[in-house]
Amino acid sequence: MSSRTELIRVEISRPSERLDTFLREQFPAVSRGALQRLIEEGHIRVNGKQVKPTHHPHAGEQIEVHWPEARPAEAQPEDMPLEIIFEDKDLLVLNKPPGLVVHPAAGHEEHTLVNALLHHCAGQLSGIGGVARPGIVHRLDKETSGCLVVAKNDATHIALAEQFAGRTLEKIYEAIVCGEVPKLQGEMREAIARHPTHRKRMAVTDGSGREAWTSYRVLKRLHGATHVEASLHTGRTHQIRVHFQHLGHAVVGDATYGARQNQRLTELTGYTAPRQMLHARKITFLHPGKKKKQTFEAPWPEDFKAALETLKT
């Protein structure tokens, strides 16, 4: 991605909003962390002056955003198997296996999906995600399997990110959850925020968090568990896992949010899940190049099939 500069004029003062949060709304394809780095490195200035990410935008200010030329990816290409559902010149849709980390981070610098993509795409990946996340428009937790979309160029990345931010994509998951979900269908509209004491966890809050909306329907009742389909209308961190825990039916195998319920399931059935039983089954979006809606589905992985078989009534 070649360097370029964009100018934004602040129309209304935002006394309670930080600059990095304000810019996140303007550029949904760019992570807040990436924006903070650009501000701290002086690539983003207000009225020509360097400011902090905590600066509050005021009416009349001019924000100059300089997008530096993408540096070579720091992650190294690795020849790893990928289950590709669809691929063309603009994007890929993958069936991510459980246990695969999406992008390099502390403790996971190698053997990630990004390493595999750098090898498979040989440089043909969007640069907007930064050097650590080339092509990555959205992510799945390490233990979650299923549909993942990867952008090969910046235009596709921006168009897809806008669909994620605008909630015009359809994301359908399947999960096996503990216990018998009483209603055949329902929805959860509880706000989610960072847990007040466990900083690596999320939690349903009393309204101080961000809006989160999940709808669900029961697919099959199992022995000590329920097979459900869940539709994400928002994309909060750990949303399905947190919402089902709040409902009283934690995802089977989820040690973070459902240790006690999973222990009861094991005592009842003798089954212990190898990971959280959550699978991104289907995704529907407007293909930016073809200008038409497309739907892609990922088949269940073997451990998900095994769980359904073991817990069937």
Q: Which residues does the annotation mark as catalytic?
A: 141
Instruction: Decide if 110 contacts 104 (C-beta within 8 A).
Output: yes
5 CB burial (10 A radius; 0-12, 13-18, 19+):
exposed
Instruction: State the CB neighbour count (10 A cutoff) for residue 228.
Output: 23
The Cα 306–Cα 297 span in angstroms is 19
- Helix, strand, coil shares of the chain, percent, nearest 5, are 20, 30, 50
Using only the alpha carbons of the chain, give its radius of gyration. Answer: 21
Q: Is the dihedral of CA 286, 288, 292, 298 positive or negative?
A: negative
To the nearest 10°, the Cα dihedral for 159, 163, 168, 171? Answer: 120
229 CB burial (10 A radius; 0-12, 13-18, 19+):
middle
